[in-house]
Chain A
Amino acid sequence: MRNPRRTEKIAFFFLFLATLLIVIPVGLIVVIIIQKGLPAINWQFLSDMPRQGMRSGGIFPAIVGTIYLVLGAIIFALPIGLLAAIYLSEYSKDNFLTRIIKLAIVNLAGVPSVVYGLFGLALFVVFFKFGASILSGALTLGIMILPIIITASREALESVPDSFREVSLSLGASKWQTIRHIVLPNAIPGILTGTILGLGRAAGETAPILFTVAAFYLPRLPKSIFDQVMALPYHLYVISTQVPNVDEKIRYGTALVLLALVLFMNLIAIIIRYQFRKRKKW
């Protein structure tokens, strides 16, 4: 006869093993990158132009480019995403239109990032004639993170108890006043968390910027939003696959800077969420 207790022990052991199989490699990846990348990091690496066909020098323009792209994406996506989320959580009725909008968002979230790149190329670069530019890249990234912002904002808005809305309405406040003064202030931490996670995603993505903005090698800073820029993820791709004989230190250093940037944003999001849960008053 099989002993159920022993079966349980064996089963739990395998579950634990599965968990280790995920967690250990993640830890290793982070440790390796930090360990090998840290020696490359110094002020000069962060603040200097790349030199000798990216085989020496720094990564300053790539950092600046990524920051521009991320900021541009958020300026575009946050207002639209937030308002769309308000529509879905506060105004929409359960009708055909709403179902279509929700379906659209589900699909936007699942579209492969390289398809966003194609879309950005066809619409912004070619059709609107923005060319390969910060504007095209930021808009493409903005559309890519739109579903992340909408989903997170909607969850945040819907977690505000209905009773607050009822109280506000019962005092004669209009619907918009209720949203503006009661719902939004209490949803802000959740909205912020989602936005920052979206930013992290935008900062790390390569495929959408490949044909819309990213410059292979451009050792100067952009002058306008119609300029091309370098970007950290694309730069890492270039120096690890396209340029031979790049010092390994530079590769690891670039990977570390990118990873640190993305993880830093995630960390902020986690802290905000944690603080908010601790202070939650209802």
Chain B
Amino acid sequence: MRKFKEFIVEKLILICGLFCILVVVLIFIFLLKEGLTLFKTVPLSHFLFGKNWYPISEPAQFGILPLILGSLLVTVGAAIISIPIGVGCAIYIAEVAPLKTKEILKAGIELLAAIPSVVLGFIGMITLVPWIKTIFKLPTGLTALSGSIMLAFMAMPTIVSIAEDALYSVPKSYKEGALALGATRWQTIWRVELSAASSGILAAVMLGIGRVIGETMAVMMITGNSAVIPTSILEPVRTLTATIAAEMGEAVVGSEHYFALFAIGIVLFLISFAINVTADMFLHKK
């Protein structure tokens, strides 16, 4: 009887492990099933490189190039802001800050990670957007730049905590060796530790960017959502994620529009898949 019970429990445990694979497969299958239907009527090249996203006009146009460029612009902007600040903060926490400060800073970073994106979007709307509008004298503050700044904040907790881990796990002997040779702490950090931790830091950056690309609510609330090819960072843009979130509510299940939004989902899934697998490889490269 005891044997039988254990047999059942152990099988259950295995099944739960396998469930994770099942979920990933299911996500992919369902995205494909709905998304690929679009390509019966719309050629793939028109979808990926079409310059117009007019999902409900007659005839509808499903070109996601403006959305891809919107996502790209916002992401690049966020990366430019968040990578130096995030990595700098990680170095400060890992190497410079005294122990007490370190604990407080880490708690602060965790706090930032915990703030829901809709709350950040709300705060961005109320504070950042008007500032951008007045500083740059724009007709609207809902721009790619506002999105980039807000998203940089969402990427930072990821970048800081993973990069800090990577720096922390550099063997002490490296550091002591360099210091013993008369290098200053900064020289040690710059020449020795950063290169020793480089693959971890790279992974941190990639995961941070992954977070930015996938972010939805804040972006939808503050980038202005106009689906045109952006020419400047001070213009409104619309991202892949925001398009899905904003339009799925109105799309009729089974319509071309509905399938197009799933096709965007496939694109997002593939991007995040590529980023995560690469980052994971960097993290486990030893």
Contacts and interface: CB of A to CB of B under 8 A. Distances in A.
Q: Do chains A and B touch in the complex (CB under 8 A)?
A: yes
Interface of A: 4-5, 7-8, 11-12, 14-19, 21-23, 25-27, 29-30, 32-33, 79-81, 83-84, 86-88, 90-92, 100-101, 103-119, 121-123, 126-127, 143, 146-147, 150, 174-176, 197, 200, 203-207, 210-211, 233-234, 236-237, 240-241, 251, 255, 258-259, 262-263, 266, 270
A87 B13 contact: yes
B249 A210 contact: yes
Interface residues of B: mostly helix, strand, loop or mixed? helix
Contacts of B16: 79-81, 83-84, 87
A114 B216 contact: yes
Contacts of A121: 248
B279 to A, nearest CB: 8
Contacts of B248: 117-118, 121, 210-211
Contacts of A206: 116-118, 216-217
Contact of A104 (B20, B187, B269): B20
26 contacts: A7-B186, A15-B96, A18-B89, A22-B108, A33-B119, A80-B19, A84-B20, A86-B13, A91-B10, A91-B13, A100-B21, A106-B277, A107-B24, A107-B276, A111-B214, A114-B214, A116-B27, A118-B30, A146-B23, A233-B116, A236-B119, A236-B122, A240-B221, A255-B122, A259-B115, A270-B110
Interface of B: 6, 9-10, 12-21, 23-24, 26-27, 30-31, 33-34, 84-89, 91-93, 96-97, 105, 107-112, 114-123, 125, 127, 153, 156, 160, 183-187, 189-190, 207, 210, 213-217, 221, 241, 244-245, 248-249, 253, 261-262, 265, 268-269, 272-273, 275-277, 280
A114 B20 contact: no
Contacts of B186: 4, 7-8, 11-12
A115 B272 contact: yes
Contacts, number: 256
A112 B116 contact: no
A236 B118 contact: yes
Interface residues of A: mostly helix, strand, loop or mixed? helix
B265 A103 contact: no
A105 to B, nearest CB: 5
Contacts of A123: 26, 30
A127 B213 CA distance: 28
